[in-house]
């Protein structure tokens, strides 16, 4: 939980009936006055109506609210889905005294089902009536955006500018269908900093590239991925440029990285969080190709599941990704143990390394491919039978 929430925000979450389980499924984040908001969204051609809606109105300096429903993605739902998305914005705007184009919308859940507006409409009225600025209100909203997640995903940072404190907090959801090429599954980062919409867009794009764009579970890009940064402007600290703006950007990035790591750590059925560090590549782009190839390999992921130090799967994945490097310069460590060096295997105790993998939820793969300046980091989860079972029965 955040130590200090940013000023100028109110939060709420309710159970509107979208989820048959009766769990919380409708969240609202509202600002006390016009605020700055910027976002990055899925690049999937097949995407939800909410994505088009949010793209049209961000970045903006007239933001007032974000309404989020979970349990239904409202994706691939045609004109009726577009109408329902617009209604969510209109209903929210009416409740808080704003215009529809001041309201962003997120939806998450099963694809191809129309939103149950008979539940959504009174739910929006209910959630608006419960808005508050306490940590309990924040937690309720963070819980209401979850679907298959095992628990809350939150993070926060505080920076000092002169004698003023600026707070940055975030919440996210996501455990499956994780292969973003923009941002994350769903995430919201909030701050009381006073910045313009251009700065907000630059900050959140860079933060996304360093965090959510570097996580995966099974490499499947969602139809609904979205990340929004909201700045209420309630802090009196001056951060127009220079060191203060860089500090804010760093705090937003660190918050996003912490949130992003929690997603594969909560991957459906996951027994390991895998961090892949690539160094020595000819460029960052080459390093990124290598990291993504390793993270996307089902053979690598299942080896981690079985605590099998099968280094051949890792180096071969690096070799087919399209990045150029010399095999003679490749070295690999698993949880700190060297298993491959100078392009050839080294003697190590497989039983010992297997035990190291088994005893730790965190698995670190460190691959050096030369002496170049390129490096990259990626996070993924292992692939378990529990993941297969869950996703083979998701709609039936």
Rounded to the nearest 10°, the torsion over CA 181, 201, 108, 178 is 20
- Residue 185 phi/psi, 5-degree rounding, is -70, -70
Strand residues in 138-217 grouped as ranges (E): 153-161, 164-173, 186-191
Residue corresponding to tokens 């995407």? 47
Q: Can you tell me whether residue 213 is helix, strand or coil? A: helix
Residue corresponding to tokens 């670190």? 364
Tokens of 262: 């929690």
List the one residue out of 244, 296, 279, 246 whose CA is nearest residue 371.
279
Strand (E) or helix (H) holding 291? helix 284-296
Is the distance from CB of 321 to CB of 293 less than 8 angstroms? yes
CA angle, 193 as apex, 187 and 197 as ends, to 5°?
A: 70
Tokens of 384: 């378990």
Is the distance from CB of 331 to CB of 242 less than 8 angstroms? no
Strand residues in the chain grouped as ranges (E): 9-14, 26-41, 60-72, 103-110, 153-161, 164-173, 186-191, 226-231, 273-281, 331-334, 337-341, 344-345, 362-368, 374-381
Active-site annotation holder among 31, 42, 108, 184: 184
Is residue 17 left, alpha or beta, with left meaning phi > 0 and alpha meaning psi from -120 to 50?
left
In the residue annotation, 395 being an active-site residue is answered as no
Q: How far apart are CA 349 and CA 344, in angstroms?
A: 16
Residues ≥6 apart with Cβ < 8 Å to 320 = 293
List the one residue out of 140, 92, 185, 56 whose CA is nearest residue 84.
92
Going by their DSSP bridges, the two strands 60-72 and 26-41 should be labelled as antiparallel
Residues noted as catalytic:
184
């Amino acid at each position: 939980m955040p130590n200090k929430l940013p000023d100028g925000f109110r939060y709420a979450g309710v159970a509107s009936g979208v989820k048959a389980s009766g769990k919380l499924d409708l969240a609202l984040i509202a600002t006390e006055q016009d605020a700055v908001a910027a976002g990055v969204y899925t690049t999937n051609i097949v995407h939800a109506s909410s994505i088009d809606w949010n793209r049209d109105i961000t970045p903006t300096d007239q933001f007032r609210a974000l309404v989020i429903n979970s349990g239904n993605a409202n994706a691939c739902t045609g004109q009726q889905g577009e109408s329902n998305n617009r209604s969510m914005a209109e209903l929210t705007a009416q409740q808080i005294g704003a215009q529809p184009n001041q309201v962003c919308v997120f939806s998450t859940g099963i694809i191809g089902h129309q939103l149950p507006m008979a539940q959504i409409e009174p739910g929006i009225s209910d959630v608006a009536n419960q808005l508050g600025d306490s940590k309990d209100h924040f937690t309720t909203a963070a819980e209401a955006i979850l679907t298959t997640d095992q628990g809350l995903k939150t993070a926060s940072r505080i920076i000092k500018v002169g004698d003023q404190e600026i707070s940055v907090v975030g919440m996210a959801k996501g455990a499956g269908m994780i292969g973003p090429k923009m941002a994350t599954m769903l995430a919201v980062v909030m701050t009381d900093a006073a910045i313009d919409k251009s700065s907000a867009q630059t900050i959140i794009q860079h933060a996304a590239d360093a965090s959510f764009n570097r996580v995966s579970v099974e490499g499947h890009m969602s139809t609904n991925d979205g990340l929004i940064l909201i700045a209420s402007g309630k802090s009196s600290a001056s951060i127009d440029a220079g060191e203060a703006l860089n500090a804010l950007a760093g705090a937003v990035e660190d918050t996003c990285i912490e949130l992003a790591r929690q997603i594969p750590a909560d991957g459906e059925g996951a027994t390991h969080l895998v961090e892949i560090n690539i160094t020595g590549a000819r460029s960052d782009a080459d390093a990124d190709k290598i990291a993504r190839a390793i993270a996307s390999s089902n053979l690598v992921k299942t080896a981690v599941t079985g605590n099998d130090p099968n280094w051949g799967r890792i180096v071969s994945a690096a070799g087919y990704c399209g990045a150029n490097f010399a095999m003679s310069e490749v070295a690999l460590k698993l949880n700190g143990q060297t298993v491959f060096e100078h392009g050839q295997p080294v003697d190590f105790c497989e039983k010992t390394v297997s035990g190291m993998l088994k005893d730790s939820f965190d698995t670190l793969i460190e691959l050096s491919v030369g002496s170049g300046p390129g490096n990259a980091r990626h996070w993924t989860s292992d692939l378990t039978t529990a993941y297969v079972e869950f996703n083979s029965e998701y709609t039936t």
